[in-house]
Structure 1
Amino acid sequence: MILFIKLVLAHLIGDFLLQPNRWVIHKEVNKVTSKYLYVHVLVHFVVTMFLLWDFQYWKLVLAIVISHYFIDLAKLYTNPFFKLRSIPFFMDQALHILVLYICAYSGNLIGQTIFLLEKIDWALLTAIVFVSYPAAIIMGKLLEGMSDRIELDHKSLPGAGKYIGIIERLFVLAFIILGRWEVIGLLITAKSVFRFNDLKDSNSRKLTEYILIGTLLSFGIAIVTGIIYIKF
């Protein structure tokens, strides 16, 4: 486990802390001919070897940086095919972490994977999934009749309300599992403060009631989910 953690730390340092934005731009423009692509790979090799502090790992580190080079190169050439730049970014990071995992547990990869799968709390995973998109869809169906009567605010970011709801339900679920019920009250207060100016400016009782119902319903779903998880 320590080996994997050190490899991940080295990756975070090399990919984020020691990679200036001008390197990223230069790589995107010049791709395989970019000098910073090779400097970036070299930085990863040096940082990883420094953190491991054991020369016997040089073959392992070499395999990691070579794979890092080809993964980065693939991302540079596939970037134009994606409308959202975040998609190739997260795919790139996922592949890097997968390589680190395989290298760290190469001696017992199948056994370690089975061990991790056996440690998964499937009830918790189900609760987390439920309070995200399924709960958002359920709320949309329950509030469908009311939302038709509310004037849309075209200044809002697309889907912002849905994502805010998902994040707040995840926070509520986490606080319930940790037994910190008082923090939920602070979360409701904070949301009310942020919403106060919007409601005051709109001067719409319907909008106020709609947001209040939606907020209570969102928190209620997360609370019930948390209680069910704890009890069963």
Structure 2
Amino acid sequence: MLIFTKLLLAHLIGDFLVQPKRWIVHKEANKVRSKYLYIHVLLHFVLTMMLLWDLKYWKLVLIIAVSHFIIDLAKLYTTPLFRLRSIPFFIDQVLHLAVLYAVAYYGNLVGHTIALFEKLDWPLVTAIVFVTFPAAIIMGKLLEAMGEKIELDHKSLPNAGKYIGIIERLFVLMFIILGRWEAIGLLIGAKSVFRFNDLKESNNRKLTEYILIGTLMSFGLAIVTGIIYRG
């Protein structure tokens, strides 16, 4: 676990802390001809060796550096194929983490992976999954008839309400698991403050009632899920 932690730390420092924006721009423009691509990979090699502080790992670190070069190069050439730049970014990071995991546990990769899955708290995983998109879909169905009666006179980000609901339910579930019920009240208060201005300007009673019902339903689903999990 310590080796993986050090490898992960080296990756985070190399990819996010010490990589200037101009390096990224230069790599995207010049791709394989960019000198910063090679400097970036070399920096990863040096950082990883420094954190491990043991020359016997140099072959493993070399594997990480070479794979990092291949993954980054693939991302540079495939990014224009995606409408959202965030997609290749996350694919890139997942691949890097997979390499680090494989290198850290190469001696017992299959056994460690199986043990890792066996230790998972599956009821917690189920609870987390439920309060995300399944709960959002259930709420959408329950509020569908009411939503058709609401006339919106302002624009908002696409699916913003759905993602806000998912995040707030995850927070509520976390607070219940930690036994911090008072934090749920603070979360409701904070959301009310942010919503107050919109509701004040719209002066729409139906919209106010719709948001109130949606909020209470969202919190209610998360609370019930948390109670079932803890029970």
Q: Could you tell me the TM-score, scaled by structure 2's length?
A: 0.99
Give the corresponding residue for 2:167. 167
Residues 116-145 of structure 1: CA deviation (Å, up to 9, x unaligned): 010111111011000000000000000001
Give distance in 1, aligned partners of 2:212 and 2:109: 50
Report how far residue 152 of structure 1 moved: 2.6
Give the corresponding residue for 1:206. 206
SS of match in other structure, 1:158: coil
Letter aligned with residue 97 of structure 2: I
Give the corresponding residue for 1:61. 61
Give distance in 2, aligned partners of 1:153 and 1:134: 28
Report how far residue 61 of structure 1 moved: 0.4
Superposition RMSD on alpha carbons, in Å?
0.6
Gap regions ≥5 residues in structure 1: none
Give the corresponding residue for 1:37. 37
Gap regions ≥5 residues in structure 2: none
Letter aligned with residue 148 of structure 2: D
- Please state if 1:94 is matched with 2:94: yes
Letter aligned with residue 95 of structure 2: L
Give distance in 1, aligned partners of 2:80 and 2:102: 29
Relative to structure 1, the CA distance from residue 47 to residue 105 in structure 2 (aligned partners, 3 Å threshold; closer, same or farther) is same
Residues 22-71 of structure 1: CA deviation (Å, up to 9, x unaligned): 10010001000000000000100111011111111111100000000000
Give distance in 2, aligned partners of 1:215 and 1:29: 46
Give distance in 2, aligned partners of 1:149 and 1:92: 44
The alignment covers a number of residue pairs equal to: 231
Residues 128-175 of structure 1: CA deviation (Å, up to 9, x unaligned): 000000000000000001100111344210100000000000000000
Give distance in 2, aligned partners of 1:140 and 1:170: 18
Report how far residue 114 of structure 1 moved: 0.9
- Please state if 1:74 is matched with 2:78: no
- Please state if 1:141 is matched with 2:141: yes
Give distance in 2, aligned partners of 1:132 and 1:153: 28
Give distance in 2, aligned partners of 1:48 and 1:153: 54
Give distance in 2, aligned partners of 1:15 and 1:189: 37
Residues 60-109 of structure 1: CA deviation (Å, up to 9, x unaligned): 10000000000000000000110000000000000000000000000111
Residues 158-214 of structure 1: CA deviation (Å, up to 9, x unaligned): 100000000000000000011000000000000000000000000011110000000
Higher mean C-alpha displacement, 151-160 vs 201-210: 151-160
Give the corresponding residue for 1:181. 181
Give distance in 1, aligned partners of 2:207 and 2:154: 14
Relative to structure 1, the CA distance from residue 99 to residue 153 in structure 2 (aligned partners, 3 Å threshold; closer, same or farther) is farther
Q: Could you tell me the TM-score, scaled by structure 1's length?
A: 0.99
Letter aligned with residue 199 of structure 1: L
Letter aligned with residue 193 of structure 2: V
Identity of aligned residues (%): 77
- Please state if 1:125 is matched with 2:101: no
Give distance in 2, aligned partners of 1:165 and 1:184: 14
Give distance in 2, aligned partners of 1:39 and 1:79: 21
Relative to structure 1, the CA distance from residue 50 to residue 58 in structure 2 (aligned partners, 3 Å threshold; closer, same or farther) is same
SS of match in other structure, 1:84: coil
Give the corresponding residue for 2:28. 28
Relative to structure 1, the CA distance from residue 204 to residue 181 in structure 2 (aligned partners, 3 Å threshold; closer, same or farther) is same
